[in-house]
Amino acid sequence: MATHADKLLRDLKALLPTLVAEEPCDDGVRLTAGDPCEIVVQISGNEVHFSQFALEWEGSHEAVIRPLPIATIHWRTLLKKERTQTFKLLVEMIVKRRRKLYRVCQYCERLVPPESLHGEKTCHGCAERHLGVVH
């Protein structure tokens, strides 16, 4: 029989963009979703933490995920319908907010997330090919 936490996890996955990763964390599970990554959701006990995906480069080849916290919901205090509506609104808002940061590469014309840009208008791949940049 599925527990409340199992049902919560299943319901959350249904609301998220394409699931990229599910991994255990300190006292629960962390979901990182979107392609490229857009949202991070962490379930810890009675709380669900919603964050916008963010990546920082520490050196030229080491990227570290540093999610930007948006909201923490005490999920057991909400009725299922309220919980679903709240989670859906948060997911939509965070994904929309993240996608506003994407830019179109001036060379390949692909939509690129901010951590994959060299400057404001060139993706890393095109910066290497067209500008001679070495990452």
Q: What is the pLDDT of residues 45-71, one digit of tens each?
A: 899 999 999 998 787 678 888 999 999
Q: How confident is the model at residue 20 (pLDDT cuts 50, 70, 90)?
A: confident
Mean pLDDT of 35-40: 93
> Would the pLDDT of 135 be above 70?
no
What is the pLDDT at residue 59? 73
What is the pLDDT at residue 3? 80
Q: Contact 5/27 with Cβ under 8 angstroms?
A: no
- Structure pTM? 0.87
